[in-house]
Amino acid sequence: MSQNTPPEEFTGDLEINKPKTEAAGMAAIVASFEHVLRGTGVARGWKALVNLNQKDGFDCPSCAWPDPDGERSPIAEYCESGAKAVADEVMTKHTASPVLFQRYSVAELTAKSDLWLGQQGRLTQPLVLRPGATHYVPIDWSEAFGLIADQLNALESPDQAIFYTSGRTSNEAAFVYQLFVRMFGTNNMPDCSNMCHESTTVALTDTLGLGKASVTYEDYQTADVIMIMGQNPGTTAPRMLTPLEEMKRNGGKIIAVNPLHEAGLLAFKYPQSPRDMLLGGQKLADVFLQVRINSDLALLKAMCKLLIEEEKKAEAAGQPGKVLDRSFIDRQTSGYEAFVKSLDHFDLNDLAAQCGLTVAQIQEAVDLFKFTPKLVICWAMGLTQHKNAVATISELINLLLLKGSIGIKGGGASPIRGHSNVQGDRTMGVWEKPKPELLDALEKIFKFTPPRENGYDAVASVKAMHEGKAKVFFGLGGNFAMAVSDTNYTGEALRKCKLTVHVSTKLNRSHLIHGETALILPCLGRTDHDVQASGRQFVSCESTTGVVAQSHGILDAVSSHLKSEVAIVCELAKTTLKEKSTVNWDSLVADYDRIRELIEQTIEGFDNYNEKVRQPGGFYIPNGPRQREFKTNDKKAHFTINVPMRHELQTGELLLMTIRSHDQFNTTVYKNADRYRGIHNERRVVFMHPDDIANLGLQEKQVVDIHSRYDGVTRTAHRFIVIPYDIPRGCTAAYYPETNVLVPIDQKAEKSNTPISKSIVVTVTPNHEQM
């Protein structure tokens, strides 16, 4: 049987230290430069870092955290996570050239760790794995495009092809990609958002009319209170800590809601602040609510009940509206009365007990924002990857609507997007559920009839491949096999394809879990010069707050064989569609301004795109909720009624959430370490409460297997080391992608189909093996 999961070997050198209580500081500086210098020379590495996130530089290929609207640090407008992502891209000391693939067979590469695969450096030439072959070998670009086109055109239906997109793809590449795919005849365009913030998109669209953040960068600085739920900013978006520190120094308060005491929620030592470095960092969380896994909806509902009680007290004291914004509620929302009435069905003490908290602890948090509307709520995967994720985020909006915190300075909803341009790709039309307005525009401008039926999302794509309904998989970036749930099922699905294609900068495990024929197409990265017929080009990306800005590559590419994502997509479109398309694909590759002119004609909010994107810092695209304009059916923001989900665990069962280590970005592993949580030289660990360890008859550092059982099927993640940790009883945590194998493909969030990676019912048993 072919291997689909990462190797199960231990490093044999596990070191456990006390978890950190503050993020960044000198350790972050050292880690950043160590990673850069390990892969390239000082001059090349420094040039990349000083241009990272600058107005005339390139956009970070890591997270989607927005850049400051005003002045930026001239030396270091980046974080440790961004420095590591850039270091991986500018690496020159090693390259994944054809020599590597001549030396190692696919089977031998599969036996290597994800860390080892990433350390081989940038891909340098197109590669093909032909039917029955054991090794990838070089192929020229024209033959590769012809091979893909032949396979696509041989399909019985365009819907037998899957076109996946990673969040790294630029606006320009995403636009031509969705144009090509729809001209080919399908809406099968799953993206990485399907696996992360799709629940956010659904909830915000239903309640506010737009599936994006309602805040600007300035709102983080000017808020009176920020509540951070299900997010670990010290690892996932470290630059977020800078405005949080500024907000704190201005007198603001922070509420942290998380099952783990993460360093980035506790305190921050700003590496560019002499004060912080000499005198110590800034305390962040004023109130830390250590909730049980997936009890956030119960917490939010308890907070809403307490706000209603506080408003009644204010009314009794002759101060109506002191707590709730009744003017906003009456004029610009619907469903308020039914929502308030529904709260009577929930007991406050019971809601608190579901969270593992007391009512007094929740009241302490509510007291921080009960008299101010300047409340920002931030969230990430800790809220979005549960069966009831859409309901939880909808309840979060209920709280903000009660306070009138939408569409004001210093207030709003702030999902923290986890990949650099994942939001921009969706704006450009990469979505399996296209809006009719987009399809109408495409039909009018490009004179073709786009498909109207919804396509496959990520989970549906895997099932379609597994069932033989889809036979070609094309991935524009990403590491699909490791990002999706149910690793073995997903691997089986990909191996059933006639053709798998990956456009990538570096080697990853998805290249090794392949179809009958497989292609790896190497592309330029954000840091690389992109020179086409009209000269040097730039691309653009959208941040989590809806700012679209330009990104210029600043370094020579490691190989002359690399093509830009735009060039790859357009060449493939030209080769596949031929006379079926009237688009001059060559002209779009020659000058990206022409792509932006087409975007301007097609996508709402991009008027004068070429002019506005050249403004220093870019521009904000229109955002209705930010102006208190709601594109819902009644033009109002919606209160909704949501019921908390109870996890009735049986004896011996725990609730597992998958997490990333500090030395990891999505599925990319930079190092076998998790500095903030005190774990070094190992990834195959499982964090458990000491009482749960004892109750299960286990011991610290014992080797165990983790099992999930759904619909009569048992799935097992083998060989993990038990780590006692400060986590609520009945809860446990372990790193992904190693534990994705436990998440059944059919276990997904209601309405959004996002995998339930943050609340998996598991059992833990001895492995009977030694470290």
Q: What is the mean pLDDT of residues 286-301?
A: 98
Q: What is the mean pLDDT of residues 283-311?
A: 97
pTM: 0.96
Residue 1 has pLDDT above 70, yes or no: no
User: Are 300 and 396 within 8 A, CB to CB?
Assistant: yes
Q: What is the mean pLDDT of residues 743-761?
A: 98
Residue 254 in 3-state DSSP? strand
Written as six digits, the tokens of 477 are 């970036």
Q: What is the pLDDT of residues 342-362, one digit of tens each?
A: 999 999 999 999 999 999 999
Residue 418 has pLDDT above 80, yes or no: no
Residue 235 has pLDDT above 90, yes or no: no
Residue 30 has phi, psi (to 5 degrees) of -60, -45
Residue 79 has pLDDT above 90, yes or no: no
Longest dimension (CA), the chain: 81
User: Are 575 and 145 within 8 A, CB to CB?
Assistant: yes
Q: Quick one: which of 515, 459, 456 has its CA closest to 483?
A: 459
Q: What is the mean pLDDT of residues 717-727?
A: 98
For residue 277, what pLDDT is reported? 72
Distances (CA, A) of 285 to 462, 470, 482: 40, 48, 33
Q: Is 99 exposed, middle or buried (0-12, 13-18, 19+ CB in 10 A)?
A: exposed
The gap from C-alpha 499 to its chain's centroid, in whole angstroms, comes to 27
Q: Would you place residue 426 in the very low, low, confident or very high pLDDT band (cuts 50, 70, 90)? A: very high
Number of C-alpha atoms within 13 angstroms, CB side, residue 265? 25
For residue 589, what pLDDT is reported? 98
Q: Would you place residue 434 in the very low, low, confident or very high pLDDT band (cuts 50, 70, 90)? A: very high
Distances (CA, A) of 218 to 56, 76, 215, 410, 411: 21, 20, 8, 7, 10
Residue 313 has pLDDT above 80, yes or no: yes
For residue 87, what pLDDT is reported? 84
Q: Would you place residue 73 in the very low, low, confident or very high pLDDT band (cuts 50, 70, 90)? A: confident
Beta strand segments in 362-498, E: 375-379, 412-415, 472-476
For residue 505, what pLDDT is reported? 96
Average pLDDT, the chain: 94
Range of lowest pLDDT (75-89, 175-189, 747-761): 75-89
Residue 379 has pLDDT above 80, yes or no: yes
DSSP letter assigned to residue 652: T
For residue 128, what pLDDT is reported? 98
Q: What is the pLDDT of residues 545-571, one digit of tens each?
A: 999 999 999 999 999 999 999 999 999
- DSSP bridge pairs for 719: none
Residue 654 has phi, psi (to 5 degrees) of -130, 165
Q: Would you place residue 713 in the very low, low, confident or very high pLDDT band (cuts 50, 70, 90)? A: very high
Q: Which residue has the tokens 């795109």?
A: 609
Q: Please report, rounded to a whole number, the percentage of residues in the chain having pLDDT higher than 90.
A: 84
Residue 338 in 3-state DSSP? helix
For residue 275, what pLDDT is reported? 76
Q: What is the mean pLDDT of residues 198-216?
A: 97
Q: Phi/psi class of residue 388: alpha, beta or left (left: φ > 0; alpha: ψ in -120 to 50)?
A: alpha
DSSP letter assigned to residue 229: E
Distance CA 186, CA 464 (A): 14
Q: What is the pLDDT of residues 667-711, one digit of tens each?
A: 999 999 999 999 999 999 999 999 999 999 999 999 999 999 999
For residue 770, what pLDDT is reported? 55
As a three-state string, the secondary structure of 599-641 is HHHHCCCCCCHHHHCCCCCCEECCCCHHHCCCCCCCCCEECCC
Which of the pair, 642 or 648, is modelled with greater confidence? 642
Q: Would you place residue 765 in the very low, low, confident or very high pLDDT band (cuts 50, 70, 90)? A: very high
For residue 57, what pLDDT is reported? 87
Q: Would you place residue 86 in the very low, low, confident or very high pLDDT band (cuts 50, 70, 90)? A: confident
Residues 6+ apart with CB under 8 A from 93: 38, 39, 40, 121
Q: What is the pLDDT of residues 238-281, one digit of tens each?
A: 888 889 999 999 999 999 999 999 999 998 887 777 777 766 78
Q: Would you place residue 76 in the very low, low, confident or very high pLDDT band (cuts 50, 70, 90)? A: confident
Q: Quick one: which of 455, 407, 533, 532 has its CA closest to 189?
A: 455
Residue 163 has phi, psi (to 5 degrees) of -120, 95
Distances (CA, A) of 131 to 76, 155, 184, 555, 670: 48, 18, 25, 37, 32
Residue 519 has pLDDT above 80, yes or no: yes
Q: Which residue has the tokens 């850069």?
A: 36
User: Are 365 and 291 within 8 A, CB to CB?
Assistant: no
H or E element that contains 265: helix 263-266
Return the ∠ at Cα 571 (arms to 568 and 577), rounded to 5°.
130
User: Are 65 and 416 within 8 A, CB to CB?
Assistant: yes
Q: Are strands 95-96 and 23-24 parallel, antiparallel or unpaired?
A: unpaired
Which of the pair, 25 or 645, is modelled with greater confidence? 645
Q: Please report, rounded to a whole number, the percentage of residues in the chain having pLDDT higher than 70.
A: 99
For residue 74, what pLDDT is reported? 72
Q: Quick one: which of 468, 386, 388, 231 has its CA closest to 743?
A: 386
How many helices and strands, by DSSP H and E, does the chain display? Answer: 31, 34
Written as six digits, the tokens of 282 are 């800034």
Q: Which residue has the tokens 């998989």?
A: 473
Q: What is the pLDDT of residues 449-463, one digit of tens each?
A: 999 999 999 999 999
